[in-house]
Chain A
């Protein structure tokens, strides 16, 4: 069975400080893993994707994520937060076998303080 756990429902950081959004997954097959961002009243935008080519994945807007198989984690990081990063972030796992099915985490709301 596949599942995604986002460990923090809310994260608050100050502008210019690092961001860490945590995600753990379980998957029976080789997973594809994604991070999407959703700004208020907007659609879901793809930040980055892991597909087994490299464990450290760089995405848009300075975000990156590291796939750690031993820890079944795919945490999202950014060295320096910007006010425009305030949004909700979803970690998603796609099954390796029936990979047209997405499993969403419950989301992490990122607040960036001036």
Chain B
């Protein structure tokens, strides 16, 4: 079965640079979530989108923005990167319309390292 795809899997950036993370949800899933997992931490919810509209917002810094496109893929844009942004970024998807299910299926994550 198709799973959530994230790209890139690894990303190394310098301080103050920008980064774009991409997420491709499971086919027919209409909702995408972004999480940040710091070293030794549990995943922290950043933001979610349902049918291309922002549905919820968590602890996402103002330097970050995200959107969901017409094909339901999502991108997380991170600017003015800081050392503390180094983390594993997960995307998850679920189907809240249609065959409704609150189960979130996670991608493999993008490991961002800021030097």
Contact = CB atoms under 8 A, between A and B. Distances in A.
Interface of A: 32, 34, 36, 41-46, 49, 90, 94, 98-102, 104-107
A52 B70 CA distance: 34
Given A90-B42, A90-B43, 11 more contacts: A32-B102, A43-B107, A43-B108, A44-B90, A46-B106, A94-B102, A98-B56, A100-B48, A100-B55, A102-B92, A105-B42
A100 B90 contact: no
Interface of B: 31, 33, 42-45, 48, 50, 55-56, 90, 92, 94, 96, 102-109, 111
A104 B41 CA distance: 10
Interface SS of chain B: helix, strand, loop or mixed? strand
Contacts of B55: 100
Contacts, number: 48
14 contacts: A32-B103, A36-B106, A43-B106, A43-B107, A44-B43, A44-B92, A45-B106, A46-B106, A98-B56, A99-B102, A100-B96, A104-B43, A104-B44, A107-B42
Given A43-B109, A100-B31, A100-B56, A49 B48 contact: no
A101 B45 contact: yes
B42 A104 contact: yes
B56 A101 contact: yes
Of B31, B42, B50, B96, the most chain A CB neighbours within 10 A belong to B42
A20 B90 CA distance: 27
A99 B104 CA distance: 11
Contacts of B45: 101-102
Contacts of A45: 106
A-B CB proximity, top 10 nearest: A44-B106, A43-B108, A99-B102, A104-B42, A94-B102, A43-B106, A43-B109, A107-B42, A106-B42, A32-B102
B64 to A, nearest CB: 18
